């Protein structure tokens, strides 16, 4: 058996480690999961989010771009099974509503959201609306508009002002 030097052993181990990292990195990229919603499903998503946080004197969830946040979170942080369940519930929502969902506003939409939240249209609908409600609130509260104008968030608190007179 041939004895290898320490330098050769380190080279071999380094190459093996780099190869392993590269393999796992490439295999992770090949398993991309995409959440694609049809135009009808996107419209339903916007309607429901507009009912959860509606427009008033301050912008609502839809006008602050929260649907993009929700779709990104669903795509990146949820399993494909949960994504499919969410998508199927979005497709069924117009059949659950007792009228034209595009005309739903105010109290009627709120009552419908409450029915979904109570589980009157099935367990999957209840889970989907709970997920949507949580992500909508999270996305809305973390928008720049809400953080700066309503929560008094400062990117770098503790300003430094070198021209302050010192009183004795």
Tell me the domain boundaries of the chain.
39-149
The predicted pLDDT at position 105 comes to 83
56-110 pLDDT per residue, tens: 999 999 999 999 999 999 999 999 999 999 999 999 998 988 888 777 788 888 9
Q: Which residue has the higher pLDDT, 160 or 62?
A: 62
Least confident piece of the model among 14-23, 30-39, 97-106, 123-132: 30-39
Q: What pLDDT score was predicted for residue 15?
A: 84
In this prediction the pTM is: 0.73
Output the 3-class SS for the chain.
CCCCCHHHHHHHHHHHHHHHHHHHHHHHHHCCCCCCCCHHHHHHHHHHHHHHCCCCCCCCCCCCCHHHHHHHHHHHHCCHHHHHHHHHHHHHHHHHCCCCHHHCCHHHHHHHHHHHHHCCCCHHHHHHHHHHHHHHHHHHHCCHHHHHHCCCCCCCCCCCCCCCCCCC
113-148: pLDDT as tens digits:
999 999 999 999 999 999 999 999 999 999 999 999
């Amino acid at each position: 058996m041939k004895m290898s030097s320490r330098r050769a052993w380190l080279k071999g181990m380094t190459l093996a480690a780099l190869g392993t990292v590269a393999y796992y990195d490439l295999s992770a990229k090949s398993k991309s999961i995409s959440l694609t919603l049809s135009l009808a499903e996107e419209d339903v998503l916007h309607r429901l989010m507009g009912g959860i946080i509606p427009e008033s004197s301050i912008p609502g969830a839809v006008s602050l771009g929260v649907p993009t946040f929700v779709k990104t979170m669903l795509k990146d942080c949820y399993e494909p099974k949960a994504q499919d369940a969410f998508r199927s519930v979005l497709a069924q929502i117009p059949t659950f509503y007792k009228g034209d969902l595009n005309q739903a506003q105010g109290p009627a939409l709120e009552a419908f959201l409450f029915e979904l939240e109570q589980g009157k249209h099935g367990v999957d609908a209840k889970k989907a609306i709970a997920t949507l409600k949580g992500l909508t609130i999270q996305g809305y509260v973390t928008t720049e508009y809400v953080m700066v104008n309503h929560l008094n968030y400062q990117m770098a608190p503790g300003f430094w002002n070198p021209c302050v007179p010192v009183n004795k």
